[in-house]
Structure 1
Amino acid sequence: MFRARTLAAEAAGAGDETGWFERLYSEAEAGSAVVPWADGEVNPHLVEWAAGKDGMGKRALVVGCGLGYDAQYLAGLSYAVTGFDVAPTAIERTIRENPGTTVEYLAADLLDLPAAWAGAFDLVVEIYTVQPLYGPVRERALAALHGPVAPGGTLLVIARATNDENPERDPAQMPWPLTRRELDLAGGPLRTVRVEQFMDSGTQPRLRWRAEFRRD
């Protein structure tokens, strides 16, 4: 996590709040850094939420898909999945490590999504990808999440949580948990179906949000 935090702090200071992701993945490809969230595991809170769901005939979008663990899982539930990440190196590695995948992996920026994606997906999944963003870009990213949700579709947000509505954020200490206000910003005009707050069961338990919003 140290290298990721260093790069994030440098990028925030330079006004390039998202460029550090590509640099981190590139350094990891060269063997000089580690991507701390590339643990090879599907998010367990997504697995719990998706239990019993059938994605046949539905389109899903995974925001900041990284190395594709969650996207591949949803494809296994018969969703037609698109996964995107702002880091082209992450996408290249994901395609290389998933030969024959049915998932469409693309390099794209949440702040400038393809126009064709507006209102196009039955399920949009965002897990831990906005938390590392700092400053104004963070709110812009949160406000962009509901855009790709189709009529009748769902936005699922899973994030670290805080009940402090005005938390101090040291640029060198990302990721920063989402406040309830930020969670509501992600939902935007969508109807709130369910908001859960709970402690996860990891080796270092942390407070989490799992929120489901729907476009009626």
Structure 2
Amino acid sequence: MTEAPLDPGFFERRAKARAELDAIDPAKGGAETPADPLRRAWFEAVYSRAENDPARVPWANLAPHPLARTFVDFQVGNLEGLGVLDVGCGLGDNAEYFAAAGARVTAFDLVDGAIAWARRRFPRSQVEYCAADLFAAPVEWRGRFDLVNECYTLQALAPALLPQALAALASLLAPGGKLLLIARARDEGAEAKGPPWPLPPSIFAEAGRQGLSPLAIDDIAATAGLSGRHWRALLRLAL
């Protein structure tokens, strides 16, 4: 798939948008916003304020995440025909990259505006885009997917929600299915002022309690193309 180059003012507009969005984010400063634990209102505001400018969506780089891309590239030929679920799909770049590798992809986001935008960007897509809530996913998705791609969704949740979120992700996998987890990383016990909340190593112990065992856990340092330390982990649901 061909990626359009970013226009010269893209990152200047992004920096301005980030400051504006941080100012209205009730979770900034450590609050976990119990009245709106998924921060739905804030995510909806991100897309409504963007006015069709992807620079104003902080996670929309108009390209697949580099760690998702390298995973897919390594798996070329092994994804053909697999059922893949892309969680928190945003504008659709990761979903489209999995589909280009031959996977049968369902992609969802909490925000209707994100889904409408993804469909506009990829009008002839084979991806099934839909709005959905991870914590109230359609019943027909349970136990259905060979691979679930979770990129930056867990780190956007208050830490208290992580056990429930991992259980929800595990419930969507077929027996022996795999979860690809991509998130910012931090040391155990290191202060995390979110959002986003970088994930500590104990996230993998919690995943184990939800029936997900590690096949690979990569602890990746920041690079020119990757802002900050990251986890990329592949976890498998028990058969």
State if a TM-score over 0.5 links the two structures. Answer: yes
**Which of 172, 176, 180 is 2:201 aligned to?**
180
Which stretch shows the higher mean deviation, 45-54 or 152-161? 45-54
Instruction: Confirm or deny: 8 A CA contact 1:7 1:24 kept in the other structure.
Output: no
Post-superposition offset of 1:48? 1.3
- Which one-letter code corresponds to 1:58 in the other structure? L
State the alpha-carbon separation in 2 of the partners of residues 15 and 83 from structure 1: 27
**Is 1:15 aligned to 2:35, yes or no?**
yes
State the alpha-carbon separation in 1 of the partners of residues 182 and 226 from structure 2: 17
Post-superposition offset of 1:102? 0.3
User: Tell me, what secondary structure is at the counterpart of 1:202?
Assistant: coil
- Which one-letter code corresponds to 1:97 in the other structure? R
Post-superposition offset of 1:145? 1.7
Q: Which residue is equivalent to 1:56?
A: 80
The count of aligned residue pairs is 213
Identity of aligned residues (%): 38
Instruction: Confirm or deny: 8 A CA contact 2:207 2:213 kept in the other structure.
Output: no
State the alpha-carbon separation in 2 of the partners of residues 138 and 6 from structure 1: 25
Structure 2: state its 5+ residue gaps: 1-17
Structure 1: state its 5+ residue gaps: none
Q: Which residue is equivalent to 1:66?
A: 90
Q: Which residue is equivalent to 1:104?
A: 128
Query: Which consecutive aligned stretches of 4+ in structure 1 deviate over 4 angstroms post-superposition?
Result: none
Map 1:32-43 to 2 at 5 A: 34-43=56-65
- Which one-letter code corresponds to 1:3 in the other structure? E
**Is 1:162 aligned to 2:179, yes or no?**
no
Q: Are residues 120 and 156 of structure 1, via their aligned partners in 2, closer, same or farther at CA, if it must alter by over 3 Å?
A: same
Q: Which residue is equivalent to 2:219?
A: 197
Q: Are residues 199 and 100 of structure 1, via their aligned partners in 2, closer, same or farther at CA, if it must alter by over 3 Å?
A: same
Q: Are residues 203 and 16 of structure 1, via their aligned partners in 2, closer, same or farther at CA, if it must alter by over 3 Å?
A: same
Q: Which residue is equivalent to 2:150?
A: 126
What's the CA shift string for 1:167-204, capped at 9, x where partnerless?
Answer: 4344xx42120011124324520221111101132367
- Which one-letter code corresponds to 2:175 in the other structure? P
What's the CA shift string for 1:33-52, capped at 9, x where partnerless?
Answer: 81111111111111212224
What's the CA shift string for 1:132-171, capped at 9, x where partnerless?
Answer: 22253344223322111111211110111011x234344x
Q: Are residues 139 and 52 of structure 1, via their aligned partners in 2, closer, same or farther at CA, if it must alter by over 3 Å?
A: closer
**Which of 171, 181, 184 is 1:147 aligned to?**
171
Q: Which residue is equivalent to 1:84?
A: 108
Q: Are residues 203 and 116 of structure 1, via their aligned partners in 2, closer, same or farther at CA, if it must alter by over 3 Å?
A: closer
RMSD of aligned alpha carbons = 2.3
**Is 1:26 aligned to 2:48, yes or no?**
yes
Post-superposition offset of 1:95? 0.6
